[in-house]
Amino acid sequence: MKTLIKNVLLLPMTSEEDLLEKGDILIEDNRISKVGKFYLDCELDLIIDGEGMLAMPGLINSHTHLGMSLMRNYADDLSLMDWLENKIWPLESYLEAEDVYWGALLNMMELIKTGTTSFVDMYFYMDEVAKAAEKLGMRGVITRGLVAFSDPEEKSIEETRALFKRWNGKAGDKLRVMVAPHAPYTCPRPYMEKVLKLADELNCPIHIHLSETEDEVKKSVEEVGLTPIEYMANMGLLNHHVVAAHCVHITDREIDLVKGKSFYPINNPTSNLKLASGFAPVSKMLSQGINVALGTDGASSNNHTNMWEEVHLASILNKAVDKDPTSVRAYEALKMATVNGAKAMNQIDDLGTLEVGKKADIILIDIDVLHMRPHHRLISSLAYCAQGSDVNTVIIDGEIVLRNHQFVNVDEREVIDNVEKRTRKLLERAGLEYREGVISE
């Protein structure tokens, strides 16, 4: 299969100096074989006219909870632990596998439609998430969240081992599996040690929440005499490739501790703002050479999963917090959503840039729109002006999954209808009533 994208502005994300020339992209099977201005003397299966559009690597959502889309707008304006303990965890106890399938499918469609081609997910019923990704042709990392108090017989640890055998490297190598202890405060030391041992056994990365709130850090110091990141380092976490969600309250000492390690903090600005968790010291980590990537968190705490919102906030929020308008510049924010995300996924050899030999995960963005005119500096337009609705075409692994804003291999209406049905049944099982947009007990 040979596909040519012609007459398109190219944003390769290879360096800030290597920007925006008009050219073509040749895709052969699932990889990029040519980029730039070149003469082509071969038969093509498909030609896409990129006039009026910009091509760049697909965005990477490095931390999310896809199945939680069924709880979007269900519990808001609460602190993290109140939200988790009194709203989310009780309702999640009524979830069924089919709920997670349709919820994940809906959320992946939202990701694709707004230009995200890869995700790192943590939840449960992860076979259903894998099936949804396979149906859509999406790339992702699936991780079964491990929580000790809901796993007294340690069955979830065995589930992760089985999940790895079933799905790691499957769906044309678009799916990978990581080991995912939820957080130090939900995984006491004996349980966490078994989880880390599993990661050693499978030789795979770890996905975990760390230092999301001040209270979490305070309790960790009170209980074990160490901050969460220090505590986990003491247990050997830093011997692994670590995707560390949030790191809002990472300390200077911890930054020195993780610097030079395979430690990838994931900034979740919208979720951290909405839950009043605080502001991650993004510019400080970046200045120390730490690879900070971007994620949306789940649709129940964000409440969208549109990565352009995170790119926008990742830049402007840190400028305000640092009282420095040069903090986290536009290109750095875009890099967090592409190159840095590929590194966090441990797939930088294949993803994150438009280069010959890389996997063809490409998005085409309409730039001939009112809110991007005039085109003084398109890097700024993308970071500060772009909307998810500007994404016209999405290609994952060389396959078109969205063309002219329309899905190629899934019925959007069918998915929405099934999500509504599953949500109503979920609330009925929990003894809640859903009517006219109001939930009542």
- Of all residues in the chain, what percent are helix, strand and coil, respectively (each to 5)? 40, 25, 35
- State whether 39 and 133 are in the same domain: no
Dist. CA 388–CA 306, nearest whole Å: 6
Tokens standing for 178? 């990581």
- Is 30 inside a domain boundary? yes
What CATH number has the domain bearing residue 202? Answer: 3.20.20.140
- State whether 241 and 275 are in the same domain: yes
Residue 201 region by backbone torsions, left for phi larger than 0, else alpha for psi between -120 and 50, else beta: alpha
pTM above 0.85, yes or no: yes
3-state DSSP assignment of residue 70: helix
- Is 432 inside a domain boundary? no
- CB distance 72 to 298 below 8 Å: no
- CB distance 61 to 91 below 8 Å: no
Q: What domain range includes position 394?
A: 2-57+359-407
> Which among 290, 312, 344 is the end of a domain?
344
Per-residue pLDDT of the chain (441 residues; tens, 9 = 90+): 999 999 999 999 998 876 668 999 999 999 999 999 887 878 899 999 999 999 999 999 999 999 999 999 988 898 888 988 999 999 999 999 999 999 999 999 999 999 999 999 999 999 999 999 999 999 999 999 999 998 999 999 999 999 999 999 999 999 999 999 999 999 999 999 999 999 999 999 999 999 999 999 999 999 999 999 999 999 999 999 999 999 999 999 999 999 999 999 999 999 999 999 999 999 999 999 999 999 999 999 999 999 999 999 999 999 999 999 999 999 999 999 999 999 999 999 999 999 999 999 999 999 999 999 999 999 999 999 999 999 999 999 999 999 999 999 899 999 999 999 999 999 999 998 776 566 555
Tokens standing for 154? 């340690």
- State whether 317 and 216 are in the same domain: yes
- Is 265 inside a domain boundary? yes
Q: What is the dihedral of CA 154, 157, 162, 167, to 10 degrees?
A: 150
**337: CB partners within 8 A, 6+ apart:** 59, 60, 293, 294, 307, 310, 311, 314
- State whether 293 and 321 are in the same domain: yes
Dist. CA 62–CA 93, nearest whole Å: 25
- State whether 402 and 255 are in the same domain: no
What CATH number has the domain bearing residue 384? Answer: 2.30.40.10
- State whether 364 and 289 are in the same domain: no
- State whether 90 and 214 are in the same domain: yes
Say how many CA atoms lie within 13 Å of 350 toward its Cβ.
Answer: 18
- State whether 273 and 200 are in the same domain: yes
- State whether 172 and 274 are in the same domain: yes
- State whether 50 and 193 are in the same domain: no
- Is 350 inside a domain boundary? no
**Omega into 303 within 30° of 0, i.e. cis?**
yes
- State whether 369 and 282 are in the same domain: no
Q: 335-363 burial, b for 16+ CB within 10 Å, e for fewer?
A: bbbbbbbbbbbbbbebbbbbeeebbbbbb
Say how many domains are in the chain. Answer: 2
